[in-house]
Structures are given as structure tokens and as C-alpha cells.
Amino acid sequence: MDNVPTTNETKGNPESMTNKILETGAAATQNFAPPKRVCAHLNAFHAYANDPSRCVESNHYCAHLNDEVRQCLLYD
């Protein structure tokens, strides 16, 4: 978390103390080097826009930009 700017242009409220504490706890128990801001992993299935009967599995690795916005890397 040491390489994150203290301000950004993201809409919404600043990140809460609860989220900061949770990220610190995650960082103490997990090694996410080099993307140290990643604090959540989600696994989901997404339907194709042109064929809703088909889907693809996707892994999301997310970081908090603030309490309302998450920025995620998606791998399928």
C-alpha cells in the first residue's frame, strides 16, 4: 500500500478506515507481490452479449480505489 497515491480523481467517498484495516490484514497474511493493492479475488461466470446461452469463467483481482469503486484485473 506504500505505492498508492494519497489522492485520486475517482468519484465517491474516500476509502474507509475499515477497508484500510482489512487491506492491512490481507497484506500481512498474503503475498500479492507485485500488485500489492490487490485485496480481493472473485470468481464469476459471464454470459456472452450476443449469445446469453454461453458463458465464460473469469477471475477478478480487485483493489479499492475508494469505498464505492473497485478496480479489477480480469483473467478468463
Q: What is the pLDDT of residues 12-36, one digit of tens each?
A: 888 899 988 988 888 788 775 656 6
Could you identify the residue written with the cell 493493492?
A: 37
Domain boundaries, the chain: 17-75
What is the structure's pLDDT at 54?
95
Report field, pTM of the whole predicted structure over 0.75:
no
Q: Please, is 56 exposed, middle or buried when counting C-beta atoms within 10 Å of its C-beta (0-12, 13-18, 19+)?
A: exposed
Q: pLDDT band at residue 1, thresholds of 50, 70 and 90?
A: very low
What is the structure's pLDDT at 34?
54
As given in the structure block, the three cell numbers for residue 38 are 490487490
DSSP secondary structure letters along 14-56: PPPHHHHHHHHHHHHH----S-TT--EEEEEEEE-SS-TT-EE
What is the structure's pLDDT at 8?
66
